[in-house]
């Protein structure tokens, strides 16, 4: 029986992990205003950006428009304190949704492009995360992302910074941005070195490019998780490649509609991934830019695709299994999930979720 809008209470109670979440894209207009106030000013540019976000319906006519909006937003982050405040507010919002663990992506490549000190910014976000984690119990790790179209040398620099902070909470290296201008084959050496340095590997792929981009990320780069992977959902060979290697796909439904990757949520190939046996996790990507959240994404998936409560629980479990967690931490989250589900087993079997 499919889940309904009333599935919300169970979805809320599930201990969740969020694996595809950009710090910069999580900054709500209210936080931008708070940032500006702390600095004693609210510049015209900031106010204009905030107003646009509040009024434009959170859609970006072309994928390039979204990349540009992300760049403009990043430029508003002028100091380590801005990044720290964004981190604090993000962890509070994760706590409100019963997210227990998150891997936050920092656009380290953008920080370097802005000529800011990555060390100072990482120290600030790490401290903010430690403080917020102690208050809320939400644990976080970090992924450093490079920008595909900035080229190989840039990506190598970002990756080496990630490796330098590996024992301080950076667990993975990834690439995002323009897949056409920065195809996977350019980055094979960088990914090999990253793996040798002990980093986990992710890649945004199949977002604005075809399924070959996903296959290349998996087969040439050895990506352990794929961000989006959307175009692979319509390609048997790419689906098979993901399924055989058990590479999870981080599905971000609202994001894909907002950036024009799919026209409507119903057009997303989520079902194809499930039918092909690809492990799927759900994520919010840039929640403030797309006006969404993890719980919202889960509810949206349930309602749009008629998924059962059991399938929603499977998403939560997939997230825990796909996380770059130590063995014991993974086991304890899986245990917590199992206990949460067991308490409500009869209701889940009857799908009487409104009673949960």
For this structure, is 28 an active site residue? no
Site string for Zn ion, 237-276 (x = CB under 5 A): ----------------------------------------
Nearer to Zn ion, 28 or 285 (CB): 285
Residue nearest to Zn ion (CB): 285
- CA distance linking residue 160 with residue 38, whole number of Å: 33
273-292: which residues touch Zn ion (CB under 5 A)?
285
Of 356, 323, 327, 351, the C-alpha closest to 340 is: 356
How many residues make contact with Zn ion (CB under 5 A)?
Answer: 1
Nearer to Zn ion by C-beta: 26 or 299? Answer: 26
3-state SS assignment for residue 351: coil
205-224 positions binding Zn ion, by CB under 5 A: none
Q: Which of residues 57-116 bind Zn ion (CB under 5 A)?
A: none
Q: Is 198 exposed, middle or buried (0-12, 13-18, 19+ CB in 10 A)?
A: exposed
Query: Between vectors from CA 316 to CA 143 and to CA 312, what angle results, nearest 5°?
Result: 140
d(CA 145, CA 255) in angstroms, rounded, equals 18
How far is it, in rounded angstroms, from Cα 122 to Cα 294? 25
Shortest distance in whole angstroms from residue 145 CB to Zn ion = 8
Tell the smallest beta-carbon distance from residue 148 to Zn ion (Å): 12
Among the listed residues 332, 139, 321, the one whose alpha carbon sits nearest the alpha carbon of residue 247 = 321
Q: How far is the CB of 36 from Zn ion (least distance, A)?
A: 25
Q: What is the C-alpha separation between 207 and 101, in angstroms, rounded?
A: 25
Closer by beta carbon to Zn ion, 3 or else 150: 150
Choosing from 103, 207, 212, 295, the catalytic residue is: 207
Does the footprint of Zn ion cover residue 28 (CB under 5 A)?
A: no
Of 8 and 233, CB closest to Zn ion? 233
Q: Which residues are catalytic?
A: 207
> Which residues lie near Zn ion (CB under 5 A)?
285
């Amino acid at each position: 029986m499919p889940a309904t809008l009333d599935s919300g209470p169970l979805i809320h109670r599930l201990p969740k992990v969020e694996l595809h979440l950009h710090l910069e894209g999580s900054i709500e207009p209210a936080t931008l205003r708070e940032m500006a106030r702390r600095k004693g000013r609210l510049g015209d540019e900031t106010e204009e950006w905030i107003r646009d976000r509040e009024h434009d319906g959170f859609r970006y006519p072309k994928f390039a428009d979204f990349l540009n909006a992300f760049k403009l937003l990043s430029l508003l982050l002028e100091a380590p304190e801005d990044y720290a405040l964004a981190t604090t507010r993000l962890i509070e919002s994760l706590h409100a949704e019963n997210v227990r663990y998150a891997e936050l992506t920092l656009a380290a490549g953008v920080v370097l492009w802005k000529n800011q000190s990555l060390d100072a910014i990482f120290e600030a976000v790490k401290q903010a995360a430690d403080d917020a984690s102690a208050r809320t119990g939400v644990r976080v790790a970090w992924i450093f992302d490079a920008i595909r179209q900035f080229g190989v040398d840039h990506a190598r620099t970002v990756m080496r910074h990630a490796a330098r902070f590996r024992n301080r909470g950076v667990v993975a290296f990834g690439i995002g941005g323009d897949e056409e201008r920065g195809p996977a084959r350019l980055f094979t050496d960088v990914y090999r070195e990253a793996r040798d340095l002990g980093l986990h590997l992710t890649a945004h792929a199949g977002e604005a490019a075809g399924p070959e981009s996903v296959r290349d990320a998996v087969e040439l780069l050895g990506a352990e998780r794929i961000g989006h992977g959307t175009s692979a959902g319509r390609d048997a060979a790419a689906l098979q490649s993901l399924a055989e290697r058990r590479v999870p796909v981080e599905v971000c439904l609202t994001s894909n509609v907002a950036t024009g990757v799919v026209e409507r949520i119903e057009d997303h190939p989520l079902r194809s991934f499930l039918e092909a046996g690809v492990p799927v996790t759900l994520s919010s990507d840039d929640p403030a830019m797309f006006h969404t959240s993890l719980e919202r994404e889960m509810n949206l998936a349930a309602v749009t695709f008629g998924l059962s409560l059991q399938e929603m629980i499977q998403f939560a479990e997939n997230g825990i299994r796909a996380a770059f967690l130590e063995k014991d931490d993974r086991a304890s989250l899986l245990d917590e999930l199992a206990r949460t589900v067991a308490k409500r087993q009869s209701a889940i079997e009857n799908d009487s979720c409104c009673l949960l």
